[in-house]
Structure 1
Amino acid sequence: MTSTHTPSPVPGTPPAGDRRRWYALAIVMTAAFMDLVDVTIVNIAIPSIRQDEGASFSQIQWITAGYALAFAAGLITGGRLGDIHGRKRVFLVGVAGFTLASALCGLAVNPEMLVASRILQGAMAALMVPQVLSIVHATFPAHERGKVFGLFGAIVGLGAVSGPLLGALLTEWNLFGLGWRPIFLINLPVGVAALVLGGRFITESKAPRALRLDLVGVALVTLGLLMLVYPLTRGRELGWPLWGHLSMAGAFVVLAVLVAYERRKSARDGSPLVELSLFRVKSFAAGIAVQTVFGIALGIFFLVWTLYMQDGLGWSPLRAGLTGVPFSVAVSVAAGVSVQKLVPRFGRKVLQAGALVMAAGVLLYLWEAGHYGLGISSWQMALPLVVMGAGMGLIVAPLTDAVLSQVPREHAGSASGLINTVQQMGNALGLGLVSVVFFGAMSDHAAPSRTGLAHADAFQNALGWVAAVLGVIFLLMFALPKRPAQHVEGASGNASEDAVEIAVEEKREALV
């Protein structure tokens, strides 16, 4: 097939002395920060939204799960669109759409409009977010990526700190009588700034040969994810109807058809939506499995944690936000240290230690919630939250590094889309399971006088599930490589040498 556009370097990598790549990094990280803050802001404001808008438990789930579902369903497509049409171009389109959707969320007049706007916001994030990692992957040589992913982990921690606090402050301040709405409207100036500066400083990059968007693949992956997540989210409310079970079973059939179709399309024209060859890279395949299960744990924990503190314990949004600060700080610190100091020395053991440490924090939190009951205080939560945050920080940044370490640059967008897709799919599955592990456990305490106890018991039940999932993650991590490729091969400052190293490593993996 003849290429219709100019190949991007191993080619699109700016020279080592070019400061523009660091400006570009700041811009894409700001966009990632905006997306992350938006998710955490929404979590802390959910009880206020429920009270002000009269939203049902199902609608509350959809405010979060609708975003995650649209995000998951569109991420692979978003990553591939970046490969085809240019990562910079698609990134800027995503930023513009995300900013517009944020405005619609802030102006929503009822829960239905808010859910619809959140779904649109998730779809636009699916265009924006995959470009972040693929722009980094295409812009920075291998020896600099460890430092960049360390920064990315720190941004994750900073977003986790800023989101709840910002959401709590904006909700309590009730700016201009708008209540919770400024949590979305604050994205507008950030989005406009990212558009202006991104157009100036981000270097365009594409796949080195012409690709076409696989529309059949888009339809199959979207259908499969919808068939799996929608019944999970609505199942409890509808009494777990037969069609829900059939839909979830059928989702795996659809995904199997997707794999068969993508294999044929790859052989026919080399332009599949899902690059199946990536799964022959052991680090990528194992990392994808870990990302999926990790997303389930996070999806369960963060929603039930917010509802427990505000609806169960009766805390204000500000107190709940401040209570989460130790967790977020621990994530940020541990993420930076893990990539820079620990992974080069200890490799996979760092991630496994992170899973065990996080599980220990969850179990400690479970014990405290039962021991102190409704009289538990913020400072008593601090220790388990610090332990949990440290464990999570040891996982998040090194895992991304390990998954992408052996991926060829021409598939950076597809790989990035897959990484984010499986994490968001896991997140959406976790949010769907909240119906079972949290709201289901509350049904035994229907009396209004027992609302606090119902939330406390349901929270403990959910924590037990999270601890079990982290145990599964620990076992899955044995399939990860002992060390990411760049730490094994050594650092190279030349982009072409990096490409050769990746190609050699892929051939070695294929032989193994």
Structure 2
Amino acid sequence: MEKHPLRWWALAVAVLAVLVDMIDNQIVAVALPTIQRELGTGDSALQWISAGYALGFALTLITGGRLGDRHGTKKLFLAGMVVFTGASLAAGLAGHVGVLIAARVIQGVGSGLMVPQVLSFIHSEFDEKERPKAMTFYAGAFPIGGLAGPLLGGVLTQANLFDTGWRAIFLVNLPIGVLALIGALVTMPSRPGFFRHRLDFGGLLLLTAGLFAVFYPLVQGRELGWPTWSIVLMVAAIPLFAIFALHQRMLAKRGGEPLVPPALLKYRSLSGGQAVMLCINTAVGVFFILTLHLQLGLGFSPLEAALTFAPSTIGIVAGNVMGMQLAPKLGRAFTAVSIVVLLASLVAIAIVVQVLGKDLNIWALLAPVIGFGLGMGAVLNSLFGVSMSEIQMQQAGAASGLVNTTVQLGTATGIALFGTVFFSRLGTGFEYATVSAIAVSAGVLVLALLFTTALPGKKQAAQAAEKTGEHAEASAR
């Protein structure tokens, strides 16, 4: 296939879209107390505003990737950007919290349509010599977006540009979205889809129903006094997920294309990796609570709250470097040690919050925040590598979609779970409520530590790394 002359410019547009997605995933956290004050929302609404984006993203990722394969990456990228930009406008103009929550979910759907196209574009438009450089630009969007999101959210909320207040965190997406749309129209090649995937709408409906049965009562149940229907609905999630799993197996036997191909789950590295990854991303959701603690409990400004957690990026970058060097050599031992670092840092944060009380400050949290970032960067890097280590080349797209969906579902689960714990304990004081949420997060990390026993050991990791290298060589030839 002939190289597209504007492919590097098109990559810049695609990476910009990923950067905006990462920023938008994080930008809302520090603005939540301001949103609550101005819209007069309940506590559960704060959880929906944050978790709704991740849920919309998670439910669309796999389908978005397959739609791109079928109709072409450019068409789906443009469609996703239009949805995302339109939802950003709706969020910025929202006068009611219900509209804001709906807009956040639709933003996630737009990202779920758009983001999978970026990797497809890189693999189809860049040869084996150019691809590592292209992937470096792509990967760089994640830590930059993770750092810029909270900081930008704090700056925009506090600056109150043109008297827009918190609305600026969504309205800022409009010029960026328009720029990305024009850039994609001009620079991206219009190539037809290469695969005629049959979309698993039945599986998507069952998965959505199961997740709704978990998340809706988990978030709303506390405010409503845990009515009987909320408990029944949560219990109903078990048979719904069982039916989903059965549907996936039956569809695969008939030669269809299920959302989660059962054949992938036979790989110990992938199935075990997803169990650990779900726990890790759930545990990280406790930072949603820490942000509320700083602002609602201690009176931090949005910018001060953002600056408190910004140093975690230093740890994330260092952890990523360590993961690339050591994870393939040490296997699950490296993953386990990284989780222990996460756990120790989280315990240190809880102790500082409890001991200092109202005297808590940025400097007291500096070391444990960097330590938490170090553990997170290391463990996620190792888990991404482990999860994909046994996957065949033709399965890479489906496996990548599954991994990214797990990340988003973990994020949404953490916000819902810890938000419920925090708000239910708030009557006893901010310190107690926050430490209670951190204690549950620590329990989730202990569960993750137990799940590491299902990961490949040192010898298996080395063999998998060698196998991955052979696949890369075969692909290059």
Q: TM-score, structure 2 length as denominator?
A: 0.90
Task: Identify the residue that residue 475 of structure 2 maps to in structure 1.
Answer: 498
Preserved CA contact (<8 Å) 1:278 1:284:
yes
Preserved CA contact (<8 Å) 2:418 2:441:
no
Q: Which SS does the other structure have where 2:258 is aligned?
A: coil
How far apart, in 2, do the equivalents of 1:189 and 1:242 lie?
47
Deviation at 1:385, TM superposition (A): 0.3
2:83 matches 1:97? yes
How do 1:114-153 residues align onto structure 2 when only pairs under 5 Å count?
114-136=100-122
Deviation track 1:320-374 (CA, whole Å, cap 9, x = no partner) reads 1111121122213322x13543334434433322211111111111111112111
Preserved CA contact (<8 Å) 1:143 1:491:
no
Match of 2:365 among 376, 381, 384: 381
Deviation at 1:176, TM superposition (A): 0.5
CA RMSD between the two structures: 2.9
2:30 matches 1:44? yes
How far apart, in 2, do the equivalents of 1:100 and 1:467 lie?
38
How far apart, in 2, do the equivalents of 1:468 and 1:144 lie?
43
Deviation at 1:180, TM superposition (A): 0.9
% identity of equivalent residues: 38
Match of 1:313 among 278, 288, 298: 298
How far apart, in 1, do the equivalents of 2:451 and 2:60 lie?
26
2:29 matches 1:29? no
Preserved CA contact (<8 Å) 2:74 2:188:
yes
Task: Identify the residue that residue 432 of structure 2 maps to in structure 1.
Answer: 457
Match of 1:487 among 454, 465, 474: 465
How do 1:64-463 residues align onto structure 2 when only pairs under 5 Å count?
64-136=50-122, 154-199=140-185, 201-202=187-188, 209-299=195-285, 301-335=286-320, 337-444=321-428, 454-463=429-438
Cα distance change, pair 142–365 in 1 and its aligned pair in 2 (3 A) = farther
Unaligned runs of 5+ in 2: none
How far apart, in 2, do the equivalents of 1:291 and 1:25 lie?
28
Deviation at 1:156, TM superposition (A): 2.5
How far apart, in 2, do the equivalents of 1:396 and 1:29 lie?
21
Deviation at 1:486, TM superposition (A): 6.5
Deviation at 1:225, TM superposition (A): 1.3
2:460 matches 1:476? no
Deviation at 1:98, TM superposition (A): 0.7
Unaligned runs of 5+ in 1: 1-11, 445-453, 501-512
Q: TM-score, structure 1 length as denominator?
A: 0.84
Preserved CA contact (<8 Å) 1:149 1:339:
no
Q: Which SS does the other structure have where 2:165 is aligned?
A: coil
Deviation track 1:141-163 (CA, whole Å, cap 9, x = no partner) reads 88998887776554332222111
How far apart, in 2, do the equivalents of 1:486 and 1:223 lie?
36
Amino acid at match of 1:261: H
Amino acid at match of 2:475: D
Deviation at 1:307, TM superposition (A): 0.4
Deviation at 1:45, TM superposition (A): 0.6
Preserved CA contact (<8 Å) 1:298 1:427:
yes
Amino acid at match of 2:16: T
Deviation track 1:197-219 (CA, whole Å, cap 9, x = no partner) reads 33455567888642211222221
Preserved CA contact (<8 Å) 1:279 1:285:
yes
Deviation track 1:380-439 (CA, whole Å, cap 9, x = no partner) reads 110110110111111223322332344345444433332222222222222221343211
Q: Which SS does the other structure have where 1:75 is aligned?
A: helix
How far apart, in 1, do the equivalents of 2:190 and 2:235 lie?
41
How far apart, in 1, do the equivalents of 2:223 and 2:377 lie?
35
Cα distance change, pair 110–429 in 1 and its aligned pair in 2 (3 A) = same
Preserved CA contact (<8 Å) 2:324 2:381:
no
How far apart, in 2, do the equivalents of 1:21 and 1:479 lie?
41
Deviation at 1:46, TM superposition (A): 0.5
How far apart, in 2, do the equivalents of 1:472 and 1:437 lie?
18
How far apart, in 1, do the equivalents of 2:10 and 2:329 lie?
30
Amino acid at match of 1:255: F
Q: What is the aligned residue count?
A: 474
Deviation track 1:72-98 (CA, whole Å, cap 9, x = no partner) reads 333332233233333343233112211
